[in-house]
Amino acid sequence: MTATAKKRSVKSGLPPGSLIHVGEDKKSTVKIRILSFNGEYVHEDDRTEVGECLPPEHGKVITWLGVGGVHRARVLEDIGGLFHLHPLLLEDVMNTEQRPKFEDYGDYIFIVLKYLALNGSKPGKAISTEQVSLVLGPDYVITFEEGTGDIFGQVRERIKNDKGRIRKMDADYLLYTFIDTVVDNYFTVMEGLGERVEAVEDALVAGVKEATLRSIHDLKREMIFLRRSIWPLREVVGSLERGETRLVSDRISVYLRDLYDHVVQVMDSVEAYRDMLSGMLDIYLSRVSNKLNEVMKVLTIIATIFIPLTFIAGVYGMNFAYMPELKYPWGYPAVLLLMGAVTSFMLFYFKRKKWF
């Protein structure tokens, strides 16, 4: 949450349904792309206002209204008016701090998703999020993206080029395609994170650095963040699959089940990486403590050998008038021998204690 992002608290005290944008200002213009198609026909129309946008009827036609940018209340109100959307739905579209969710409004269903992207190597901010809201009506799908990055560009190409079965299917299949695009992207993000986890693991094997610890913690936080995004997504896809709404036909339930499996698989990877990171943290910590032990052992060995020797030298450095040993010719070699004996004993003792 940067300082420039509008906070949720600006809405405190306002009546429900007030259209106020909450979140970062991703861009300043709104881009609207309208694509109408059926088996034989495709029509595309780009604009910045909604106006009288619905295309003429050519038999049955599926309309996809793609909105890029959700910060203009007036544009949303126009769309809301045209499709008779509930004010609370529009409020949710503008508030980009939503969790993934599924809501059935009877005539249309509303889905909020989080599109993830992997950033560069900025530490602690590996994943950026863009909120994607979807509305499915009987023969239309509206997609609201926070930015104008055109997340669903590939879907548009597939429709225009009539690839796959997308032109032969209904609006619910189009909705499925959008969710599938978002979920497929999660695999890409997971693989990117996986590479980072492995890089950190290699760094851990190479040596104990505090930067490694920081990276482990950062990645762990990303995993917690991911899990928080994916858990509710599972419920969303599960609700669709269980056929809780009449807008989604049985025909696509096999696709939704497949999608559900994908979500569970992503979740599984997240859990696997979390476990790996926990293990790496344990290894890091026990290595730090091993290192401390090693340092202490060196200190102890050196000190324990030399402190008694220094004492012996100190004794014969005393200036007493009557110290008979000092006079004997063999005094000096005898003391050196004594020192050697003490050292040998110490080394033997440390050896037996397996200190080195």
What residues from 9 to 38 belong to the interface with a second copy (CB under 8 A)? 9, 11-13, 15-17
Stretch that binds a second copy, among 53-61, 130-138, 211-219, 235-243 (CB under 8 A): 211-219
> Rule CB under 8 A: which of 95-114 touch a second copy?
97-99, 101, 103, 105
Note whether 194 binds a second copy by CB under 8 A: yes
Least distance from a second copy to the Cβ atom of residue 221, Å: 6
Stretch that binds a second copy, among 52-60, 61-69, 241-249, 269-277 (CB under 8 A): 269-277
> Rule CB under 8 A: which of 298-317 touch a second copy?
298-300, 302-304, 306-311, 313-317
Q: How many CB atoms lie within 10 A of CB 241?
A: 18
Contacts with a second copy by CB under 8 A: the residue count is 109
> Rule CB under 8 A: which of 69-88 touch a second copy?
86, 88
Note whether 352 binds a second copy by CB under 8 A: no
Residue 219 vs residues 59, 190, 195, 224, 255: alpha-carbon distances, Å: 52, 11, 11, 9, 32
Q: Which of 7, 43, 47, 168 binds a second copy (CB under 8 A)?
A: 7
Q: Which of 42, 221, 234, 245 binds a second copy (CB under 8 A)?
A: 221
Note whether 122 binds a second copy by CB under 8 A: no
Q: Which is nearer to a second copy, 50 or 152 (CB)?
A: 152
> Rule CB under 8 A: which of 319-338 touch a second copy?
319-323, 325-329, 331-332, 335
Stretch that binds a second copy, among 27-35, 43-51, 222-230, 237-245 (CB under 8 A): 222-230
Task: Mark 154-193 with x for binding to a second copy (rule: CB under 8 A) and - for no binding.
Answer: x---x----xxxx----------x--xx--xx-xx--x--
